[in-house]
Amino acid sequence: MSQLSERPEKSVVGVSMPHESAVQHVTGTALYTDDLVQRTKDVLHAYPVQVMKAHGRITALRTEPALAVPGVVRVLTGADVPGVNDAGMKHDEPLFPDEVMFHGHAVAWVLGETLEAARLGAAAVEVELAELPSLITLQDAIAAGSYHGARPVMAHGDIDAGFADSAHVLTGEFQFSGQEHFYLETHAALAQIDEDGQVFVQSSTQHPSETQEIVSHVLGVPAHEVTVQCLRMGGGFGGKEMQPHGFAAIAALGAKLTGRPVRFRLNRTQDLTMSGKRHGFHATWKIGFDAEGRIQALDATLTADGGWSLDLSEPVLARALCHIDNTYWIPNARVAGRIAKTNTVSNTAFRGFGGPQGMLVIEDILGRCAPRLGLDPRELRERNFYRPGQGQTTPYGQPVTQPERIAAVWQQVLDNGGVADREREIAAFNAAHPHTKRALAITGVKFGISFNLTAFNQGGALVLIYKDGSVLINHGGTEMGQGLHTKMLQVAATTLGIPLHKVRLAPTRTDKVPNTSATAASSGADLNGGAVKNACEQLRERLLRVAASQLGSNASDVRIVEGVARALGSDEELAWDDLVRTAYFQRVQLSAAGYYRTEGLHWDAKTFRGSPFKYFAVGAAAAEVEVDGFTGAYRLRRVDIVHDVGDSLSPMIDIGQVEGGFVQGAGWLTLEDLRWDSGDGPHRGRLQTQAASTYKLPSFSEMPEEFNVTLLENATEEGAVYGSKAVGEPPLMLAFSVREALRQAAAAFGPGGAVVELASPATPEAVYWAIQSVRQDAASRNEPTRDGAATAGHAGNGQVDGAVRTDAEALSGA
């Protein structure tokens, strides 16, 4: 076992405990960025001047009327920027634009003594616009050839030979929607200037160092004059990885120009209409299978809806390509990617970061192709798993480590869920209920852990031991409710060998740990845990030498366990507090800067080859649904999950992450339906689902009636801190099982072997039309449906030409 993964005796890691801020969360005493306004004197409030057109060039911007509004202090425009007028890392996101690029784009910001004064001032600003043509939908952009950013191609093997060797060649097309983050806390920042002109920004950000960088660029000052702190976030899910930077810069610019603190907070409608979402995708594909249903070749093109600027679209697309294989061996593949440029908000990171989109494509392919191949979907998936001992690599050339775990979690789900018996019960239920059908589907997950950009795979920490024996840790990760701080407290206590109550954690700040990476890519615990462990190991080694001198032993023979130092073979002991005090008087340094970098990574973005991931996290889920044939309404009856988190750092936290990730994934796939006005009227480009009243989120009513989550046992990961694995993103993709169960339930309304094309999100409406399509198909063949109704109906399903066709059918025009 490696030093990184080995656990000492009586570890604090691995113990189930509640979130470190759980009590504050439920009692309302936890402070978030906007709560700090009440503790700050003379705060000004920022409000956006939004232009409600999808695209146009600004011909006039008159701010004088706003200044006449009582309480308005200043209007910020591009002329006020002393540095770079840009909020992005690609320099394609002007903070104060001359060209409106989406409906609701902010072109100026009003500062007021009150929020109401700022709002009235923003309404008074006059903007004249020369409207320009706009592209709202992904189809619009594809038809117009509107793309930006990189266009990678991932190639592996010989696809021509693969298709030539295939007994079955099928083609298809698939389009699926994005997803709104809908974190509880909207974007917020509070900026202040000290007596030396230095800037201090409180920001709800997943990436404080990048927020610091953007603020320094906008203000035209070096980074050491800007400090960014993040207390905690009320959710992030990727939506606060890139998007907070410009908002923080607005607050900082206002504070710099007025000398007063400036508060920035979007209301819910502003947050929904101004911030990016998960990328929606369009896919075209061609796949070949041998006679046994094993994949021989895949040729696909994935088009991501990037919105108006690049943001993180390029790495999101790259991860989508890297995850199109999911758990399946594809010997010959060619997958091309491109980013559509549309006049909508700039889409951004969202839990899974492109991985879910790539994996959804292959899962949809297999779900649609299984009936054509005469195979049960579960059997088709099993036949294509990565196998141990085969030397199989991903389509981008990385060896698949621990492939045996793919089958192991799958089998454990089958066993734990009693799947075989329940499938027989479902068949009996469906035979007896013509208007209600049940189905059970199982899908797996293989998700690569690390940032695709190798440089981001590093973390830092600063650990301080005070002479009374108490410990304060700082690290570069941010807490958004996922329990990272809880895990870091456990890592520090375990490494130092002391009780958890001895350790406290400070808020994340750029002046304590510099140049940090975003808390993203599920890497928070790996990177920051490695850094905290490294810092604590430095301190422990110093203290062991002090203890050895006091105990009359060699340092290598001293152990610190539960706050007591003892030498092997001796009953003499030294309490932690006494040890620390002795070290202080011996002038031993009691602070340490820790650092960790993920080893063994290599990635060439140009050739799309390498090993970008440290390891793979795997899991499997079985979901059972019941569908109403009259309405398409459904309920999730039961879910069984087995997920691989290595040796868990904090089991209660990890189980909560698996449950939450699964439900969020089910929301994306079955409920959450983003809609924009794509007509030619005055509201073209307007987000129509801009409130919880029109955008349906998963709630308690969508939770499965029975929800069983098991963490894979004996699953030590040698390459990660204390043998753990990442848990944040991978569970989201377990929700594919819900969508596939809905597909199979819809198929149960028709004759055996029905091919069901299901829109995504698979809303009750989409499920209803899928059922009607099955019925219509049966009617056209004069075959009885399983509900006894061979009725013609609406055959559409919300997809763009979702037909699954063989090459022969395509050539014949079928």
Give the residue numbers marked as catalytic: 729
CB distance 768 to 776 below 8 Å:
no
3-class SS of residue 702: helix
Please state, in angstroms and as integers, the Cα–Cα distance from residue 490 to each residue in 18, 210, 235, 483, 487, following that order: 12, 27, 22, 11, 5
Residues 6+ apart with CB under 8 A from 423: 440
Contact 595, 460 (CB under 8 A): yes
Q: List the beta bridge partners of residue 71.
A: none
Give the whole-angstrom CA distance, residue 623 versus residue 604: 38
Strand 706-711 and strand 634-643: pairing? Answer: parallel
CA distance 11 to 503: 14
> What backbone phi and psi angles, to 5 degrees, belong to 404?
-65, -25
Name the residue among 365, 367, 283, 354 with its Cα closest to residue 330.
365
DSSP string computed for 558-582: EEEETTEEEETT---EEEHHHHHHH
The rounded radius of gyration (Å) of the Cα atoms in the chain is 28
Tell me the C-alpha distance between 127 and 109, whole Å: 13
Query: Where are the extended beta strands (E) located within 178-246?
Result: 188-193, 199-203, 226-230
Report whether 465 contacts 591 (CB < 8 A).
yes
Q: What is the token pair recorded at 554?
A: 């060699």
Q: Are strands 44-51 and 262-265 parallel, antiparallel or unpaired?
A: parallel
Pick from 230, 210, 221, 204: which is nearest to 255 by CA?
Answer: 221
Half-sphere exposure of 486 (CA within 13 A, CB side): 21
Q: How far apart are CA 333 and CA 302, in angstroms?
A: 13
Cα first-last separation, the chain: 59
